[in-house]
Structure 1
Amino acid sequence: MKYYIIAGEASGDLHGSNLIKELKKTDAGADIRCWGGDMMQAAGAHLVKHYRELAFMGFIEVVKNLRTILRNLSFCKKDIADFKPDAIILIDYPGFNLRIAQWAKTQGLKVIYYISPQVWAWKENRVNIIKNCVDRMLVILPFEKEFYKKWNYEVEYVGHPLVEVVDEWQDQHKNTVKTNIIALLPGSRKQEILKKLPVMLEVSRHFTDHEFVVAMAPGMDKEFYNNMLSGYSNVKAVSGKTYDLLMQATAALVTSGTATLETALFGVPEVVCYKGSAVSYEIAKRVIKIKYISLVNLIMDKPVVKELIQHELTVSNVKKELHELLTGKERIEQLREDYSALKTLLSKGGHASANAAKAISNFLQNG
């Protein structure tokens, strides 16, 4: 069969590559074109456009690049029409992918969405678009099934693809020894790093028997970090080695997002740190409708890891929480239990990529 897969970010490239490998197992003659990255290409897909050309984040950047985005949409539609796929598989990236889904529906093409947009957090009205133009939705967070049920839309939970990624990494690095390292994961964008990293760095002064290691964001200038790290004797930074860092760390200070889930899957006790501008925070409070900001707590539906948000993100609060993670035996034991339950919940009796490929195959064969 012919598949057209669209991913617009690095994480989509990773999960798309694993999906492609599994699709090729279920369909030896699979012919795949994709928008994604090097990993999807290496997995055997014909890469049409790299996600580096698509990554426009934030309202201002989108407006500035609107002409390019519209050209990309037009080009994508033409390429799909020329390829005539049996199915279009969309991976997250809703701003672009939902527009493609709406167009594809008018062309009579089958549309499968793997990794739902986070409509449960904000822009709930997008569910109506999804119901009208997505034939099959494969979700990776267990609570998403219940969320969509409220909207009378049946979805399939396939497990979370990060489980297999982390499992594979751990298998390949079995001999890594835990050290007295505290991992600092302050985010991937300059503005959020400037808000959170200074607090994390000040905390390092109170734990001089530990080494603090900052995971630098891809594409960020090393000099940017060096300037911030100047004056902290027990802090260093690494680039492209986040998983190596988590394998060695005894605890972590992590910004909200996927990194909170990755840290938990590596079994590292963590404090979740979030701070935005005053205006952004006030807007977010009114728009975003979720109980927790970390995926770990959202999935488990309870406060498994401590979240320090906005005004709570102070040096004294982080210091207190980190001290408990390093010395509190009961808390560490409870974390281990919760992390184990989290992994079981996300594993769904197998790997998400294999489950997704099987679900796609079943849908295309049986309608």
Structure 2
Amino acid sequence: MKYYIIAGEASGDLHASNLMKELKKLDQEADFRYWGGDLMASQGGTLVRHYRDTAYMGVWEVLINLKSIFRNLNDCREDILRYRPDVVILVDYPGFNLRIAKFAHHHGFRVFYYISPKIWAWNTRRVKRIKKWVDKMFTILPFETDFFAKHNVPVVYSGNPILDAIHDRANKNETREEFLNRHQLPEQPIIALLPGSRKQEIERLLPDMLAIKNYFPEHQFIIAGAPAFQLDYYKQFFSSGEVKVLFNETYSLLEHSAAALVTSGTATLEAALLNCPQVVCYKMWGGAITNFIAKKIIIKVPYISLVNLIAGKQVVTELFQIDMTREALKNELEKIIYDTSYRQKMLAEYDRLRQIMGEPGCSHKTATLMWESIVSE
């Protein structure tokens, strides 16, 4: 079978790579062509475009890069027609992937969507497009499944791929002492900084995260480096020797940290599953204007973090837009570190979250469901 897969960011690259690994076990002749990243490339096939060259965040960045976006869309459409896959598998990344879904459907290609766009949070009208253009939706959150079923979209809940990634992580049995020795780190407790995988996220959030470092002299601040960037990129944000950046170590870093400052997204759920208390951060272009529009018009759910959405209540504090200030960040981190009752309550809610999420096996289950759907038609 020929599989054309499109992932537009680091988390999509991770989950798509795990899906590819499982598809290869089922399909000995699997041939992959994809838009994604290094993890997908490690599974073989042909990488057409890396996500670091296609990801744009926020209204302003999209507007000033429209020419590049449209060129990428046209390149992708032409590439699909040349390749003629048995199935097009779209992984999140809705701004780009919904346009490709329409194109692929109209040209007679089977379309699967793995990891739903968050249309239940904003722009719920997109569900009508998904119903028209997507043959089957594979969701990773139970409440997403209910949402699509209500709108008569063919949907299957296949568990959550983060559980697989965490279960199969490198150095999972490593002690804190071994982790510190491996990276030549001092004994100080760690504050992990996860400023995101996109340039716009990092440049908006990392300076604020680093600005509160002096309030916590007994802790060491360590940045989880995104795979699309090099160390030199991060060095512009701090003085030499002041902070360490670790690449390909996010899970180990979270596991051995006292707390984390996390950009809203998949990483919030990863931190919770690894039992790391956290503050959720998010800031876009536009300040108070964007804050008003987002809260009053666009966002249709009460929370922005997956942790709170899955739990159905506030488990972690979310500092969104105008609330994302250095003072607020400092105050919340102080509570997490020094208020034992506050910290233990969060960790107890993490236990409940893990029970809701269930066991690993999502990638295998999703690959099996996709394979069976293809060969049965």
If the length of structure 1 is used for normalisation, what is the TM-score?
Answer: 0.86
Q: Which amino acid aligns with 2:123?
A: K
Q: Residues 121 and 299 of structure 2 are in contact (CA less than 8 Å); yes or no, is this contact kept in structure 1?
A: yes
Q: Report 1:159-178 matches (<5 A).
A: 159-169=159-169, 171-177=171-177
1:265 and 2:273 aligned: yes
- Secondary structure at the aligned position of 1:5 is classed as strand
1:363, CA displacement in angstroms?
A: 1.4
Query: Number of matched residues?
Result: 364
CA distance in 2, matches of 1:20, 1:132: 26
1:134, CA displacement in angstroms?
A: 0.3
1:327, CA displacement in angstroms?
A: 3.8
Q: Report 1:184-263 matches (<5 A).
A: 184-188=193-197, 192-193=201-202, 196-197=205-206, 199-217=208-226, 229=238, 236-240=243-247, 241-263=249-271
Q: Which amino acid aligns with 1:283?
A: I
**162-171 vs 282-291, which deviates more?**
162-171
CA distance in 1, matches of 2:237, 2:36: 33
1:74, CA displacement in angstroms?
A: 3.3
Q: Cα deviation per residue 1:343-367 (whole Å; 9 max; x = unaligned)? A: 33334x4322111101101211334
1:343 and 2:354 aligned: yes
Q: Which amino acid aligns with 1:245?
A: L
CA distance in 2, matches of 1:65, 1:173: 44
1:217, CA displacement in angstroms?
A: 4.9
Q: Match for 1:358 among 355, 359, 368?
A: 368
- Secondary structure at the aligned position of 1:289 is classed as coil
The alpha-carbon distance between structure 1 residues 222 and 280, as it changes in their structure 2 partners (threshold 3 A), is: farther
Q: Report 1:94-173 matches (<5 A).
A: 94-169=94-169, 171-173=171-173
Aligned-residue CA RMSD (Å)? 2.9
- Secondary structure at the aligned position of 1:169 is classed as coil
Q: Which amino acid aligns with 1:366?
A: S
- Secondary structure at the aligned position of 2:215 is classed as coil
Aligned equivalent of 2:185: none
Q: Cα deviation per residue 1:207-226 (whole Å; 9 max; x = unaligned)? A: 32222233455566867765
Structure 1 unaligned segments of length 5 or more: list them: none
1:137, CA displacement in angstroms?
A: 0.3
Aligned equivalent of 1:5: 5
Q: Residues 181 and 211 of structure 1 are in contact (CA less than 8 Å); yes or no, is this contact kept in structure 2?
A: yes
CA distance in 2, matches of 1:219, 1:44: 19
1:275, CA displacement in angstroms?
A: 4.1
1:76, CA displacement in angstroms?
A: 2.8
The alpha-carbon distance between structure 1 residues 351 and 251, as it changes in their structure 2 partners (threshold 3 A), is: same
CA distance in 1, matches of 2:361, 2:113: 17
CA distance in 1, matches of 2:93, 2:304: 20
Aligned equivalent of 2:182: none
CA distance in 2, matches of 1:301, 1:9: 26
1:279, CA displacement in angstroms?
A: 2.4
Q: Match for 1:290 among 291, 295, 301?
A: 301
The alpha-carbon distance between structure 1 residues 8 and 257, as it changes in their structure 2 partners (threshold 3 A), is: closer
Structure 2 unaligned segments of length 5 or more: list them: 180-187
Aligned equivalent of 1:180: 189
**319-328 vs 22-31, which deviates more?**
319-328
CA distance in 2, matches of 1:189, 1:321: 24
If the length of structure 2 is used for normalisation, what is the TM-score?
Answer: 0.84
1:85, CA displacement in angstroms?
A: 2.2
Q: Residues 8 and 51 of structure 1 are in contact (CA less than 8 Å); yes or no, is this contact kept in structure 2?
A: yes
1:24, CA displacement in angstroms?
A: 0.9
- Secondary structure at the aligned position of 2:294 is classed as helix
The alpha-carbon distance between structure 1 residues 314 and 110, as it changes in their structure 2 partners (threshold 3 A), is: closer
Q: Residues 195 and 201 of structure 2 are in contact (CA less than 8 Å); yes or no, is this contact kept in structure 1?
A: yes
Q: Residues 145 and 154 of structure 1 are in contact (CA less than 8 Å); yes or no, is this contact kept in structure 2?
A: no
Aligned equivalent of 1:300: 311
The alpha-carbon distance between structure 1 residues 224 and 93, as it changes in their structure 2 partners (threshold 3 A), is: closer
